[in-house]
Structure 1
Amino acid sequence: MAIMLQHVSIPRPPGEESAQIARRFYGGLVGLTEKPIPSTIVHADLVWFKIGEETELHVFAETEPFPTTGQHFCLNVSDVEAMRKAISEGGYETWLPDSIQGRPRFFCRDPFKNIIEFTQIVDDYMKYQRSN
């Protein structure tokens, strides 16, 4: 049986204003393409984006407090430094975690405080594992 990730869902406050903020951040700054939501749920307060060919990001309205833990999702980008520069120049703080060899990366929070990791997979980190 084949298994693959189909979508990731993250919260934002309800309303059109936060939907527009999501569009500016994920569509404008990050560069994802917005995708129409299915007509059967058009009444829902959702914004969907394409990630690659088959994966989606669903930004949904949530009234409950958002998580403040390390929960996050990761986007593999072709130029992690260019993305970090764009995110920083867009007014968002970025930070560097512990390094993983062959995977330069950084983290940021979106306008709704969701954590996003951006990475560029340039090599197989397993090549650098030490044998015990």
Structure 2
Amino acid sequence: MKVRLQHVSIPRPPGSENLTRAFYGEILGLEEIPVPSTIRQFDLIWFALGPETELHVFAEEAFSDQSGRHFCLVVEDLNGLKHKLVEAGIETWEPATIQGRPRFFCRDPFRNIIEFTTIEADYKSFEE
């Protein structure tokens, strides 16, 4: 059986639709896609992450920004994106390294953690 990731869902505070679209749509350049009509009442905003993967951002009343949960996006120009985020006033940080995978993290406007990376080599090739 083959398994693949279809979507990731992350929370945002209610009423933050404009900020969601500004960060994920304008700053990160993700394409907003329509939410199915059968679930539009749930205050969702969806973005495409490539041809078959989606990001679902949902409104949550009991929102907490204390979790370490995160998702990772592979990008072509890691340094260019980092510069764009810093220029937009978004703090970034670099965690412990993974060989063959330069990376950095940031938080979206709702304090969800996002990891960005470029896969240069299989990290297992660096293991003894």
TM-score exceeds 0.5: yes
Quick one: which amino acid aligns to residue 100 of structure 2? G
Q: Which consecutive residues of structure 2, in runs of 5 or more, have no partner in the other structure?
A: none
Q: Which residue of 1 aligns with 2:100?
A: 102
Structure 2 CA distance for aligned equivalents of residues 116 and 57 of structure 1? 12
Structure 2 CA distance for aligned equivalents of residues 124 and 67 of structure 1? 32
Residue-by-residue CA offset, 1:66-94 (whole Å, 9 max, x unaligned): 24132100001011111111111111000
Q: Which residue of 2 aligns with 1:93?
A: 91
Match of 1:80 among 78, 81, 84: 78
Q: Relative to structure 1, is the Cα distance of residues 111 and 67 closer, same or farther in structure 2, using a 3 angstrom cutoff?
A: closer
Which region of structure 1 is more displaced relative to structure 2, 67-76 or 105-114?
A: 67-76
Relative to the length of structure 1, the TM-score reads: 0.93
Q: Which residue of 2 aligns with 1:7?
A: 7
Match of 1:112 among 110, 113, 123: 110
Q: Which residue of 2 aligns with 1:126?
A: 124
Count of matched residue pairs = 128
4+ residue runs over 6 A deviation: none
Is 2:65–2:110's contact at 8 Å kept on the other side of the alignment?
no
SS of residue paired to 2:42: coil
Deviation at 1:59, TM superposition (A): 0.4
Q: Which residue of 2 aligns with 1:24?
A: 22
Percent identity among equivalent residues?
58
Structure 1 CA distance for aligned equivalents of residues 43 and 67 of structure 2? 24
